[in-house]
Every structure is written in structure tokens, then in C-alpha cells.
Amino acid sequence: MISGENSVSRPVVRSDVLLGQIDSLASVGLDSSGGRTRLALSESDKAGRDMVVRWMEEAGLEVRMDRIGNLFGILRGADGGLGNALMIGSHIDTVIHAGPYDGCYGVLSGLAVLRAFREAGVVPPRPLVVAAFTNEEGVRFQPDMLGSLVAVGGMPLGEALDITDGKGCTVGEALAAIGCSGGEEPGFLLPSGYLELHVEQGPRLDAEKKRIGVVEGVQGISWWRITIEGKANHAGTTPTKLRHDAGYAAALVSVFLRGLSLSAGTTLATVGTIDFEPGAVNVIPSKAVFTVDLRDPDGEKLTEAEKRLAAFLEKTAFEEGVGISSEHLVRFEPVVFDRELVQAVEETAASKGLSSMRLVSGAGHDAQMMARVCRTAMIFVPSAGGISHSPEEHTSGEDLAAGVEVLLGVVLRVLGF
């Protein structure tokens, strides 16, 4: 029996509406080759935000925005306040040339759950909130998960607003340019519980033929920017032994990182971007600037990988006669989600006849920020072939619908229905 004023039926998610909204949002920022790009606080991000705001309003939600641009759709509970809220969230900004689901699925599924309560005439005993956080991807502005980080007090607002992109535009300027400097202070709405539904972005569920991923936590992340200063010289006249080649030194670091990953077992290491100067085919590079992404579910192993990288950089600088400096861009410790919420996800999937498996997320999510202030859990659905951050990202409509059914089931459990 569901309690609540004027309750007429049990909340039911309309999967056809959800899938239609996913398709509509996926068309924003779409290019001719099938990818979409909605970098944080860009005009395309603004267009996506406007679409989500319209859907929130059509669902009868109260719409609020904070000063870092985090967007909230609120369904107030029986007491009319905002305390003890249960939040469902994710993001709608994308990487460059992205697929249709990453982040968007979580926001629109949260909206679908709140819409189900409204359409059933059920007033929840406590507030329900759907959130779309700013700059989760971290492509335009670093660090990633910036909106949720500021919301939970992990970075002062002023510091976040002063962060610049590659063209010198600050977060504050970008927010003002698209009219998304909201009126609320970050943290005005801190929930007591947070749920996030997401495509896995990895191959495990698809490979194991499991319908639901029960996410126990998120692995630690460490991002670096490394600069190597060598000496430019003629590629045809400079003997190998007399070179101070920044490009070669960068290659040594990349090969070292592959070996580090293989020897550590659980550590992942990626050189994601690299630039050479002067950038000519017949000139030995005088400068190399590249990024390194280190990840591990074990905090001690992540720290050990950082130490090994630092030691190798020092050794390479000495042996190759180059200067090497490093800048730590991001450092997030591994996160363990709330045991009771994780169990609720597992039990809800089983009650619906959906196979599941427990796993740790290899990707970062806003959930790991929210875990700093409240009970948190995540639900995964399969990514076909494990593909994500790509136009080839695909999850079947059946799996998308199954994920939101589990999400709704967990919400009902948490609310005591």
C-alpha cells in the first residue's frame, strides 16, 4: 500500500517517454558523422539544459539552479521542505564526439521516476530531486565532476569560477555567457541519499550477459600534465647520441606506464593527449606536453603508481638530458558506496527477475562526490561491446527500460513503500 495525499495508483515509469527524451537530447550537438558534442557551458550544453528544464516544468517539478550551474528538478514531500531529500542525478555535458547515453540516461531516468510519482498522484514522504551536474566530463574545464565537487564543499565556489579553459575563458564567464549562473548557493540542497543510473562504459556486464550492474564503488583517479623540455635540432644532421629529444623521452614514459599497468595488475595508465613543439617532421622535438590518467580501486596501489611514475620521470630526465616537470591536475581517492543501498539495488534486480553482478566502476561519476555527504549507490546497465565515449555507444531499449525499473524499485524501497 502506497501512502500519500490523493494517491491513486502505484508509480509507473513510461519507458516510451524516457526513450523518446533520450533520443531528443541525443540530437543536440549532433554532427554529420553521428557523434554529439556538448562541452560544459557551451551553447550546445545550453540547448540541452533548456530542453531538460522544459521537461522538468512539464512534469510539474520546481526548477532551481545554483551558482555553479547545477540544475535541480524538485518534487516536494509531504512536509513541503527540502530536508532529508532523496536525489537522483548525473550530467548532460559530453566528451567530444560522444554517444547518446553517458550521463543523459541518468538524468532523464531520474526525471522519469519523479514524473511517475506526479502522474500517479503520489506525494512522497520526503522530497525527491533530479539533478544535472555541471562539467562532469572535465573536457573543457578541469577537474572533472566540478559541479558536484563544489556542491558538496570539496572546492570553494570562487576557486571553481576562476578555472579557465584552453582559450582562457573562466567558468564564471562561461556560465554568464549562457545565462546559467543560478541564484542558489552550491550546497543549498544536500540530500540524505543519492542514486545514479548509468550505462556501464565497460565490457563486463555485456560479456557476462548480466542485465544489471550493482556498483559497490568507484576506483581512485589521478590525472597529471607532464612537460618535457629538450633541444630542437635538425633531424638529419644530429647524431642520436647527441640528441636531447623531448619526443623520445615522452615515448619512454608512455612505454613505462604500460609496463606499470601490467605489473600492478589492477592499475590502469593512459596517455590521453600529447603535443610536440615545434611540430615539424624534420625537427627533433624541443618540447612535449602530455597527460597521464592513473586509476586503481586500491588507494595504496594508486599512491604506489604515482611514486613509481615520479621516480621514472627523474631517471629519464637525467639519462636523456632533458628537463621534466609535472602538474597534478586531479586526485580522487577510491570510493566505497553505502552497503545497505548497494544491497537494495541487488535485491530489487532479483525481485524483477533481472540477473546482476557486483562491480567497481572504472569511470568517475558524480556519485563519488555525493558519497562525501550522503548514502550513495549506483546502478549500471550494459554497454554493447563495452563501448562508450564514442558515437558507437549502444544500449538496447530493453536494457535502458530495465535499469529505470530497478531505479524506481530502489526509490520505493528507500521511501518505505
CATH of the domain at 123: 3.40.630.10
The alpha-carbon radius of gyration of the chain (Å, integer) is 23
Distance CA 397, CA 390 (A): 18
In the predicted model, what is the mean pLDDT of the chain? Answer: 96
Q: Which amino acid is residue 274, in one-letter code?
A: I
Same-domain pairing of 342 and 326: no
Q: Kind of pairing, strands 335-336 and 62-65?
A: unpaired
**Structural domain of 350:** 15-218+334-414
Helix (H, G, I), strand (E, B) or coil at 176: helix
Q: Beta-carbon neighbour count of residue 266 at 10 Å? A: 14
pLDDT reported for residue 7: 41
Residue 36 has phi, psi (to 5 degrees) of -130, 145
Query: Any binding-site annotation on 198?
Result: yes
Q: Is residue 41 part of a domain?
A: yes
Q: Is residue 9 part of a domain?
A: no
Same-domain pairing of 202 and 233: no
Distance CA 169, CA 140 (A): 10
pLDDT reported for residue 9: 82
Distance CA 268, CA 74 (A): 38
Same-domain pairing of 252 and 365: no
Same-domain pairing of 83 and 181: yes
Residue 270 grid coordinates: 593512459
Cell 531505479 maps to which residue? Answer: 407
Same-domain pairing of 231 and 127: no
In this predicted model, what pLDDT tens digit does every residue of 49-88 receive, in sequence order?
999 999 999 999 999 999 999 999 999 999 999 999 999 9
In this predicted model, what pLDDT tens digit does every residue of 241-270 receive, in sequence order?
999 999 999 999 999 999 999 999 999 999
**Residue 140 · residue 39 · CB < 8 Å:** yes
Find all residues with CB under 8 Å of 141, minimum gap 6, and list them: 40, 41, 135, 163, 164, 165, 171, 174
Distance CA 347, CA 339 (A): 12
Closest CA to 335 of 94, 207, 149: 149
CATH number at residue 256: 3.30.70.360
Query: Any binding-site annotation on 91?
Result: yes
Could you write out the three-class secondary structure of 214-264? EEEEECEEEEEEEEEECCCCECCCCCHHHCCCHHHHHHHHHHHHHHHHHHH
Instruction: Flag whether pLDDT at 6 surpasses 70.
Output: no
Q: Which amino acid is residue 304, in one-letter code?
A: E
Same-domain pairing of 107 and 40: yes
Same-domain pairing of 174 and 230: no
Q: Is residue 8 part of a domain?
A: no
Same-domain pairing of 211 and 225: no
Confidence of residue 8 (pLDDT cuts 50, 70, 90): low
Which residue has better confidence, 362 or 49?
Answer: 49
Percent of the chain with pLDDT over 90: 95
Point out which residues pair with 98 in neighbouring strands.
36
Same-domain pairing of 194 and 225: no
Residue 135 grid coordinates: 562539467
Point out which residues pair with 74 in neighbouring strands.
62, 129
**Residue 70 · residue 188 · CB < 8 Å:** no
Same-domain pairing of 280 and 345: no
Residue 323 grid coordinates: 628537463
In order of 163, 201, 381, the CA distances from 206 in angstroms are: 38, 10, 9
Residue 8 grid coordinates: 491513486
What average pLDDT does the segment 118-132 reach?
Answer: 97
Range scoring the smallest mean pLDDT among 6-15, 224-233, 272-281, 310-319: 6-15
Point out which residues pair with 184 in neighbouring strands.
66
Q: Which amino acid is residue 312, in one-letter code?
A: F
Instruction: Flag whether pLDDT at 377 surpasses 70.
Output: yes
**Residue 121 · residue 11 · CB < 8 Å:** no
**Residue 370 · residue 335 · CB < 8 Å:** no
Instruction: Flag whether pLDDT at 292 surpasses 70.
Output: yes
Same-domain pairing of 264 and 303: yes
Structure pTM?
Answer: 0.87
pLDDT reported for residue 33: 87
